[in-house]
Structure formats: C-alpha cells, structure tokens
Chain A
C-alpha cells in the first residue's frame, strides 16, 4: 500500500519558503531596470510603468479564473479589440456618451463570457477550441463593424481611465487613474477568488470536476461564472488600453497569450486547481518588466515574441518539475 515513509522532513523543508518565486523574479528585474536606467526609480518612471502594465495585470487576474477552473480563455484579446473599436464607433466623438458606452461594453463582455461558458459546459467543446472560435468570430465582428478601417477617436472622457494622472500629489507626485483601477479591481478579484465560496468552488472544479459534482458543486454555473469574470476583466483592460493605444483592429492581438503567460509566471497550475490572483498580477508586471528591459537593451520588437514564447515554455517546465518533486 501507499506508505507514508516518503521523506516527511524533506517535504516540510521544501514547504518552508512559501513565498511565490515570481515576487523574487520581479524584484530582481526591477533592480536590473533601475541599474540600467536610474530614472525608473523616479515616480514618473515607475508610475508610467505601472500604468502601462495595468491592462495586462487585470487581464491576467481575470484569465486566472478560467485557468484555475481548468480551462483557457483565448478570446480576451479579441474582446479588447472589440471594446476599443466598438467604443470609438458608439461614442461618435460625443463626450457625454462615455458612461453608457462603458456600460454597453461590460454588457457585451458578460455576454461573451456567458456564451463561452455555455459552449464549454453544454456543447462540451474544449475551452481552448471554444474560445479560439470566439476569438476569430469577435475579430471578424470588430472588423466588419468598423468597415475594415476604424475611423474616429476615443473621447478624452473615455481615455481618462487609461491615460490620466492625478498630478501634484505629495511624495509620489503623480498617481495614474489606471493604477487606482488596477488596485480596486485587483483587490475585488483577489477577494472573490480567495475569500468566497465561489473561489473555493472554482479551485474544486479545476482540481477534480467529477468529485466536485458528486459533492454538490454546481459545476456548470461555477464554470460559466469563471468565463464571465475573464471576459469582464478583458473589457476593463480594453477600456484602460484605449487610454493610450490607437484605435485599430489589432489592438488586442496577442494579449490572450500574454495573459496566460503572466498567470503561469505567477505559478498558476495549467489544467486547473491552483493559482493566485496577486501572483498572476505580479506575473503580468514581471512580463512587462522583461519587455521594458529588452527595450533598454535596444533589442528589436520580434525578440519580444521570441522571449515571451520561451518564458511560457520555461515557466510551465519549471512548474512541472516542482510538481514532480512535491509528488503530483
């Protein structure tokens, strides 16, 4: 029979450093950036960094919900595109439209998440394929809606969230609104994932859906909610990104994979059961710090993609090694 003779002491030793390694990696990268560019230590330096990283951080925290529930959400990048393109068309340069446009975008996001969840739960399409199909569909919708060449601009009111800095503050001098949004949403997503019954059930269905079902967990409802959280956080990320990105039909391209990479850097277990919202946010900051560093090194843009791909593989490989050593 299975015996408990396996090294107890070793196990305890290994459990001692409970701090997620992503925080050390992030700290090391920040030190490296500061060494190369001392201006980064100034408030304008790191506040701008956080502002630019905020959309991906929120996206990664939302993506984590789907990953912990045992799936992937590849549609979030196309949701971002749809939000940016759709908002510019709907608002039609009218500053008063901002609030109802944002409300509409969150409604669309909720609908996308709901459809993703329903397709996965009831049509039994694997989430990778279901959300890939949704990604292609939404990119097409954004293209058609804009007639292929997005016209117009986002109003300054709309761009407020992603672009505006609250000036003249003591100590930190400026505070980007995007950072406030990140802190508020980050805390809300942390609370929902790690402090509520829903969060525990998302962990359970990603860990063992059959056991969760036999324990009375409403597996489909929980899974659909996870997809909706992911899509809604993509809407929030799209609104922030609209603050500093131009209106185009490829503004969200690639963000879905960056979000997954960030969540995995944060130690999320692919195929479900384990993950942390703060660590996923740290993973997003880490990824952005790596990109910043590559910029300073003067490496061309395509290198970013090469590096990102290697990071994704390396992060999963490291996670698998860790899992092997801790047994399962």
Chain B
C-alpha cells in the first residue's frame, strides 16, 4: 500500500446558475482504503462524484488518476479508466439475469453467438471474490432479487470491470440491519483486494464501522478532514455546524404518559400473529425489527389498509377494526407512509395541495377547495410556516422540494386533522440531519399534546433515542419490549432471534 493516492481531486470548484455547488474541494482516495464522504443533503457530495465520473465538468481544479491527469468528459471514459459508481438507483435491467446484467454491452462471444457458459462462469468467479457466490445465482432474474442482493450484483459488475475505484452513494439507504452487515462485509473484502472505496453516507455508525479516512462536506466546502477515524461527535459537529446535544427530544416523563388510546388484543392476519398492543396518549412507541418482521404490516392493519382478520381493536374503548384507510382516518388514526414518493406525495401538485389533501378528502365534494372544517389555505400556510417548510412558494410543485421539506408537508397534512393516533413509518428516511432533529422534536410536541405516537424505523439509534418504549417484532409477532435508551445490541439480538428476551 503506497502512500500515493489512486485518485486525487484538487481544488475543485463548480457553479450552477445561482448556486455555488463546490468551492475549492480537495479529496483523495488510497488503494485498499475506505474514504467516507459525509455531509447533509445539498452539501455537494453528489456533485463531487458526478465530476469524478465525468457527468459534470469542473469550473476549476483537476483530477489525477494514478499520477496522470484525468479530466473525464463522459461517464464512459471514467468507467474505462477504472472508476465505477454505484448509485442509489441501480442501473440493472430487471428482466435480465444476473450474468446478462454484469456483461451488459460487452458480452463474450463464441463466433456469432453469445458465450453463455463463459458469462456464467465469470459471473460466478466474480461473485465468489467477495463471498456472494452462495447468495446469488448467475441465472437468477434481477427482478426476483431483493435490494441488498441487487446491490451485490452492482458491486460484482464493478469488480468485473476491474474497477480500481468504487464509489458507493448511500448504499444502505434501502437496506435493513441484516443486509447492512452483509454489505459491510463486502466492503471489507473489496478493501482487502486493494480497491479504493469512496463511501457516501450520513449515518455515523457506518463511518465508524468502515472508514479509514473521513471528509466532511458542508455547503460545498470541506468542513473537516480526518486521516484516522474520528469520534462520531466530531463528524456530526462538522456536518451540522453546531452541537447536537438536543438532537433527540427528551423522553416523556411518567406524568406525561396517559391512558391507552388504541389497544389490540390477539390481533392477527396473514402477516401478523398474536398482536397485543397498547398505544398510550403522550407516549412514543418505537418499533424495531428486520425488514419483513411485520412492523409495516401492523401499521397497515391498524390503518385499515390490510386489516386484522382476528382479534379486537379498540380506540378509546370503542371498536376500531377499520376496513379501509378512510374509516381509520375518520376514527382518528393517521399514518405517514415509509415511501414518500410512492405512498405519500402527489408530486405534480403544489405544496399546499399536498398539505390539504386529507382535509379536502373529508370535506364536501363540491365544497370550495379554499377552506373546510379541518383546514384552510391560510391555516395550512401558517402550519407550513410554523414547521419551517422551505419552498420558493407554497404554490410550487412539491417535487422541487428537498426530502425533509416534503416530509414536513406530509406531516402538516396530518396535523390539520388532529388525529388521536399518529403512525410514522420510517419518518426520517432520506432526509438530512437538521430535518431529522426537527421531526423528532415534532413527534415529541405532538405526544405532549396528547397524541399516541407509533414510530417504525430501521435506524436503531433513532428508535432508541426518540422512543419512550421500544417493541421489537420478528416474524409477525411482538417478541420483546425495551425502555428508552436500551442497548443497540440487545435490540439486534431480539430482532434477529439470537436470544429470547422476556417481553
């Protein structure tokens, strides 16, 4: 391992009309090392990577690859030079096999025909290089693979291209805890092989677990650089530019937690078994578990989207076995879906329309859109102002807003209805650190005002920090209960079933 970096970007600047995206950023990555690139959304991480891979050209500065100048004009050039970027949105073809995807556009031939056997054996060899051979068959259709496995195919593709630099853009964004561990192991293998890895993330746990060096970007500039893995606090401080002692809101006091609002006894359906649950006024209940453990199924059952088929549900003592979301909302339950774009937003409509959607859905059909029993244009604007939704105008299409601001608008949708129970599914997925803190404090304010809050999150530190009580689910059942501030390892063990903890 020599000291000369494989790739060095020096004094890079880049402006877009009206925005200075990068200002004098220098960044280097060494063979056999993981260099973490962290920063909030909009800090310039993606722009830097796009310059590295030739999607954008820098206004100033230069890139040196293995000691030679390398200013790429096109992504194909950087790919040929050995730089592979694995974006969050994979570039795989779902209806093709793993092998076909890996050799897409450079299929080996035998005469006029494709050499399928060679493709398959080479794919297997590449997959085995980082221990994925047992998990992925070269003949599997990509569409049939889960997200984590698809990511392995992307990584395999990078290796088969002989990539010397692999860039991973928030690779764990769509993965659950167990899948993350597999990814980390893969990264370790790549590092042992001498690949230089640029790892973009804003999760501190991944930085401490993986990184050899860390560069923090903030507002297009290098806010901090560490040649050895620093303490997480130092990174976060550099990222947000302030201390984060009050990152999570303080937990509820005993006096703040009231009577059960929503109770389930022996609830079950195709995805859930023997659910006994009480959500209390003033309390935030966190739900941890691996993907498919039944947390989202439970939320959807309470919300009437996929109702319970057995057991009883009561809301303030009255029957609350809702058959569809509309009934559930009328009964006083709200739900923030986990996939904002697919399940929550109407992207072509304005910020206001998104905020007012539910209020309007429960107003007379031919009533004016300007105001109804739950909200009006001005009350919604006031709510947006109060939540500090950042938009050029609330008449703007919501698709132009950042993830955090979109999420706030969806939260505002529910606040207008004043639900008794509010279910948050992955409330901070894909939003930046400051917006996350905002969501935690908002949940706490709602709880203090008497709302029962259910929070489903795959981010364990978040569940531990934000919830008053943590329930762990596994295989459709609630298997364990922990207090606020429980240890991460205990939750992990309960979630994966390594050990039983008394519920």
Contacts and interface: CB of A to CB of B under 8 A. Distances in A.
A5 B343 contact: no
B486 to A, nearest CB: 29
A2 interface: yes
A264 to B, nearest CB: 16
Given A195-B369, A197-B366, A210 B343 contact: yes
B361 A215 contact: yes
Contacts of A215: 325, 344, 357-358, 361, 413
A252 B376 CA distance: 43
A186 B366 CA distance: 16
A108 to B, nearest CB: 23
A217 B303 CA distance: 14
Nearest to B201: A1
B226 interface: no
Contacts of B169: 1
Contact of A216 (B329, B346, B432): B329
A232 to B, nearest CB: 14
B366 A217 contact: no
B499 interface: no
Given A210-B343, A214-B344, A273-B348, A10 B369 contact: no
Contacts of A214: 303, 305, 325, 335, 337, 343-344
B47 A3 contact: yes
Interface residues of A, number: 39
Contacts of A274: 348
B356 interface: yes
B358 A2 contact: no
A8 B17 contact: yes
Interface string A180-216: 0000000000001001111111011001101111111
Nearest to A1: B41
B343 A217 contact: no
Interface string A250-268: 0000000000000000000
Nearest to B41: A1
Contacts of A2: 41, 46, 402-403, 430
Given A9-B18, A216-B326, A217-B361, A3 B41 contact: yes
A208 B325 CA distance: 16
Nearest to B402: A4
A196 B366 contact: yes
Contacts of B58: none
A7 interface: yes
A327 interface: yes
A269 interface: yes
B353 A328 contact: no
A1 B344 contact: no
B348 A216 contact: no
Nearest to A197: B360
Interface string A1-38: 11111111111100000000000000000000000000
B360 A200 contact: yes
Contacts of A11: 400
B363 interface: yes
Nearest to B46: A3
A197 B374 CA distance: 13
Interface in A53-98: none
A46 B47 CA distance: 56
Interface string B37-54: 000011111110000000
A7 B326 contact: no
A328 B369 contact: no
B495 to A, nearest CB: 26
A211 B362 CA distance: 15
Given A5-B21, A7-B16, A196 B365 contact: yes
Interface in B5-54: 16-19, 21, 41-47
Given A197-B372, A218-B361, A207 B348 contact: yes
B404 to A, nearest CB: 10
B343 A211 contact: yes
Contacts, number: 148
Interface in B52-101: 88
Contacts of A101: none
Given A3-B42, A212-B357, A198 B349 contact: no
A12 B393 CA distance: 12
A201 B357 CA distance: 7
A1 B170 contact: yes
Contacts of A201: 357, 360-361, 365
A5 B361 contact: no
Contact of B358 (A192, A199, A216, A328): A216
B274 interface: no
Contacts of A200: 349, 353, 356-357, 360, 369
A9 B17 contact: yes
Query: Which of A11, A195, A198, A211 is packed against the most chain B CB atoms within 10 Å?
Result: A211
Nearest to A204: B346
Given A195-B368, A195-B369, A216-B329, A208 B361 contact: no
Query: Which of B202, B364, B400 is packed against the most chain A CB atoms within 10 Å?
Result: B400
A205 to B, nearest CB: 9
A225 interface: yes
B345 interface: yes
Nearest to B340: A211
A58 B361 CA distance: 27
B347 A192 contact: no
Contacts of B403: 1-2
B484 interface: no
B17 A213 contact: no
B367 interface: yes
Given A2-B403, A200-B360, A210 B342 contact: yes
Given A2-B41, A213-B325, A197 B18 contact: no
Contacts of A269: 348
Interface in B344-391: 344-349, 353, 356-358, 360-369, 372
Nearest to A269: B348
B399 interface: yes
A328 to B, nearest CB: 6
Contacts of A203: 346, 348-349, 353
A5 B41 contact: no
A198 B365 contact: yes
B157 to A, nearest CB: 22
Contacts of B366: 192, 196-198
B206 to A, nearest CB: 14
A10 B17 contact: yes
A216 B334 CA distance: 9
Given A5-B16, A215-B358, A274-B348, 17 more contacts: A1-B403, A3-B44, A4-B42, A5-B19, A9-B16, A12-B392, A196-B368, A197-B364, A200-B357, A200-B360, A201-B360, A210-B342, A214-B337, A215-B344, A215-B357, A216-B329, A217-B358
Interface of A: 1-12, 192, 195-201, 203-204, 207-208, 210-218, 225, 269, 273-274, 327-328
Interface of B: 16-19, 21, 41-47, 88, 169-170, 202, 303, 305, 325-326, 329-330, 335, 337, 342-349, 353, 356-358, 360-369, 372, 392, 399-400, 402-403, 413, 430, 432
Give 7 nearest A-B pairs by CB, closest first: A9-B18, A9-B17, A207-B346, A273-B348, A216-B329, A197-B360, A5-B21
